[in-house]
Amino acid sequence: MVTATETKKVQFEILRQNTPESEPFWEKFEVNYRPNMNVISALMEIRQNPVNVDGQATTPVTWDMNCLEEVCGACSMVINGRPRQSCSALIDQLTQPIRLAPMKTFPVVRDLQVDRTRMFDSLKKVKAWVPIDGSYDLGEGPRMPERKRQWAYELSKCMTCGVCLEACPNVNSGSNFMGPAPLSQVRLFNAHPTGSMNKDERLNTIMGDGGLANCGNAQNCVVACPKGIPLTTSIAALNRDTTVQMFKDFFGSDRMVD
């Protein structure tokens, strides 16, 4: 079936970079339009035939991807100025030329692929888990009220995609701010009945280097988050928790959790 749509083209401008140290450069591509295309299927087209708009052969564009349904966070990149997942970025909803760039808040590995290690390091630093390992069976923990579980589920949707860090003006090469995502995880695990047994440790960590106090309340994170996590509410709630913790640490007679 030969129709007019088959000759329709999609214009791309991609910020490319060959090695972590080399200079980035823009390269233009043209891809045949197909209905229901997303940015990833377009990138796959370019990979099949890596020729730029001037007809010159080039290297295939590198990017990260995994789940293809906006739950893993791997395919995040800056699309037309906005950090988001390329799997859920539909061509029909984007203005052309579609400009793709890596999330430069993170070290660029190659082209659109970045290294999000710093986020996973932050999660380790704040102990974003419920510690239950021991040398004997600790038994069941306290029950969580169902309504609280539903509320906590929203915070647990975070996929460490890095979009909130890219959107934040205070996360950059000149600061070591860990960014909104790991902070919100502190709120999540401090709300868990078993996790709250270590809440003072997590609070003290985010009261340290690169922690909570670096937030400047520009509130871009909550606008950018693809999962709709109330990041700024989490930050404000942690501000209250750390205020209390600060006074407890100084005026309290001992260092009990509660």
100, 165, 167, 178: which one binds other proteins (CB under 8 A): 167
90, 138, 218, 257: which one binds other proteins (CB under 8 A): 218
38, 76, 184, 220: which one binds other proteins (CB under 8 A): 220
Supply the DSSP string of 73-111, one letter for each residue: -TTEEEETTEEEESTT-BGGGS-SSEEEE--TTSPEEET
From 11-19, 108-116, 138-146, 216-224, give the range in contact with other proteins by CB under 8 A. Answer: 216-224
User: CA nearest 161: which of 128, 114, 202, 205?
Assistant: 114
Neighbours of 28 (CB within 10 A): 12
Min dist CB 224 to other proteins, Å, is 7
238: contact with other proteins by CB under 8 A:
yes
Q: Is 160 or 245 the residue whose CB approaches other proteins more closely?
A: 245
Within positions 27 to 86, which residues make up the interface with other proteins, using CB under 8 A?
Answer: 81-82
**Can you tell me whether residue 3 is helix, strand or coil?**
coil
Min dist CB 125 to other proteins, Å, is 13
User: CA nearest 128: which of 79, 186, 70, 49?
Assistant: 186
From 10-18, 90-98, 168-176, 178-186, give the range in contact with other proteins by CB under 8 A. Answer: 168-176
Min dist CB 77 to other proteins, Å, is 13
233, 247, 252, 257: which one binds other proteins (CB under 8 A): 233
d(CA 138, CA 199): 19
d(CA 88, CA 61): 19
Q: Which letter does DSSP use for residue 13 in this model?
A: E
Q: Which letter does DSSP use for residue 114 in this model?
A: E
- Residues engaged in binding other proteins (CB under 8 A): 81-82, 167, 169-170, 172, 174-176, 207-220, 223-224, 230, 232-233, 235-243, 246
